[in-house]
Structures are given as C-alpha cells and as structure tokens.
Amino acid sequence: MKYIDPHIHMVSRTTDDYARMALAGCVALTEPAFWAGFDRSSAQGFFDYFRQLTEYEPKRAAQFGIQHYTWLCINPKEAEDPGFARDVIALIPQFLDRPNVLGIGEIGLNKNSRNELQILEAQIALAAERDQLILVHTPHLEDKLKGTRLIMDALRANGKIEPARVLIDHVEEHTVKPVLDRGFWAGMTLYPDTKCTPQRAADIFETYGNERLWINSAGDWGPSDPLAVPKCHQELLRRGHPASFIEKVSFRNPVEFLGQSPKFSAPA
C-alpha cells in the first residue's frame, strides 16, 4: 500500500532505510530541519545543512522512487541564543524558492523559554511574509501541553496565519483536541518510548476521527523506526479498519495538506 511519511529526518538515516521504506510502499516524504544532536558552531553550519536538504537528499531519495520534500528553519533547541538564531533565519529566504522546499519547519518550542518564543515568532513572521506552509514541533513530555498552547497563541497573534496551512506535530491524547478544535492540522509521531505507539495512534483516530490528522515516523538519530508508519497501518488493519481508512490518513490527508504548496506534486 503506497503511503507518505510526512516527517522523517533522512539525513540521519542510512540508504538501506530508503530501500526498506520504498519496499514498504513509501512514495514521498517530507524532511523538516531539526537539531543535529549537537549545537552547530556557526550559522554557516546551517547553510551546509540547508544545501544537504535541498540538493543531496532529493537525489538519494529519487534512487528509490521516493519524492523528497523539505522544510527549513532553526529548531527551538538552538534558539536560546537569539543572535545566533537570527543569523540562521537570515539564511533561509535564499533557499525558499528551491523546488523541494514546502515551507518553514519544524519550528516551535522545546523548554518554553522566552528566547525560544521570540525566535518562533520571528519564523512565523517569515512564513507569513513569504506565504509559506508551517510545520510545528511541539515540546517533549512534561513541556508539551504548555508549549502547544503557547505555540497556538503565537500563531494566532501573528494575525496573518491561516490555521489550515499549519500542521502541529507530535500531538498526543492531551493536545490533539485543542489543536483540531482551533482549525490546525495535527500529526502523530510514532516513537518506541515517547510520543505515540502505533496502538495509541489508532486509539486517537478512533476517538477524534481521521480529518486533518496524519501519522509520521519522525525517524532520526535517536530511538525511532523509519518503518513506524506501515507498522501503524498493520495495527489499523488488525483492528478491522478498512484499507480506505489507511489511504485516507497516510496518503489523501498528506496530499491535501502538502498540496497547498504549489511545489508539491501528488505521487501517482
């Protein structure tokens, strides 16, 4: 069954992972800019990273018939130094017209600090100014509930952002309803220990429906599984959900949201 993984960090994965994802039915993916596991020593490190996301990774994915799209930003884990973060933000506009760039992301908060919020607001403003889609990272564990509220307030405060053009990711049972109620799209991330298991993601679909909601692996350099999305499909099938349900959450929903960017082309 063909599917889209709308959030995965392929710079941290091997070429074998591309091969396995293609075998499992992945036809397209989107890769947000994120924290490398260490702080970059200069803004120039981000310039190289943005080249990797817009030049190198699309070619690597194409070898396996997978369309590669990306999102650019400075992530909240490196936003505690506002001067550094603004130097990185200044690099982004020159990359926004590249053919696989869908928007700004994954922006958001990590520890819900004032500096993180200031840099989030600056990147929301950039997205508004350049009419870009937004992919949002919500904080981990104890910080998620508060951070999700602060992020939604910041998006509303900008005044120019349409909620339907924003995907708020890493929702769980305590954040999914407020995100959907405010008109945003929501993403569930399938992680082995934190965020959602495939079972809980299926539970959330059964509780909140399958409109404006998708699943992703967010596979990266930490404990994560690039095949988490098809594993969740197996869980849905095991429960008796029809194949059309899976097509809706893992293909038609991503196509509907991502298709708001003229650069996104729905895979055949």
Partner 1 sequence: MSASKYTCPLPRAKALDAYFLEHRAKLIDLAAFLDRLDRADPQGAAEDFRLAALRQALAILSDGRGERARRVLECFSDPTAEPIPKAPMKGALGAWDGKAAKP
Residues of this chain that bind partner 1 (CB under 8 A): 35, 77, 80, 110-117, 139-146, 149-150, 172-174, 199-200, 203, 206-210, 238-241
Long-range CB contacts for residues 197-200, cutoff 8 Å, separation at least 24: 198/228, 198/231, 198/232, 198/234, 198/235, 199/235, 200/172, 200/173
Backbone angles phi, psi at 63, to 5 degrees: -60, -20
Residues 6+ apart with CB under 8 A from 26: 2, 3, 4, 5, 66, 229
Kind plus residue range of the DSSP H or E element containing 150: helix 144-158
Amino acid at residue number 224? S
141: which 2 tokens? 């564990």
> Cα separation of 21 and 112, whole Å?
34
* 126 vs 150 by CB, closer to partner 1: 150
* 36 vs 229 by CB, closer to partner 1: 36
* 60 vs 231 by CB, closer to partner 1: 231
* 95 vs 208 by CB, closer to partner 1: 208
Shortest distance, position 143 Cβ to partner 1, whole Å: 6
Name the residue among 138, 180, 144, 139 with its Cα closest to residue 163: 180
Name the residue among 11, 21, 15, 13 with its Cα closest to residue 231: 21
* 96 vs 145 by CB, closer to partner 1: 145
Residue that is written with structure tokens 């992703």 in the block: 216
Shortest distance, position 236 Cβ to partner 1, whole Å: 9
* 203 vs 225 by CB, closer to partner 1: 203
Shortest distance, position 184 Cβ to partner 1, whole Å: 18
* 66 vs 188 by CB, closer to partner 1: 188
Shortest distance, position 163 Cβ to partner 1, whole Å: 21
Distance of CA 245 to the CA centre of its chain: 21
User: Is residue 138 within 8 Å of residue 166, measured between CB atoms?
Assistant: no
Shortest distance, position 37 Cβ to partner 1, whole Å: 10
Residue that is written with structure tokens 């509907």 in the block: 256
Shortest distance, position 133 Cβ to partner 1, whole Å: 25
Shortest distance, position 75 Cβ to partner 1, whole Å: 10
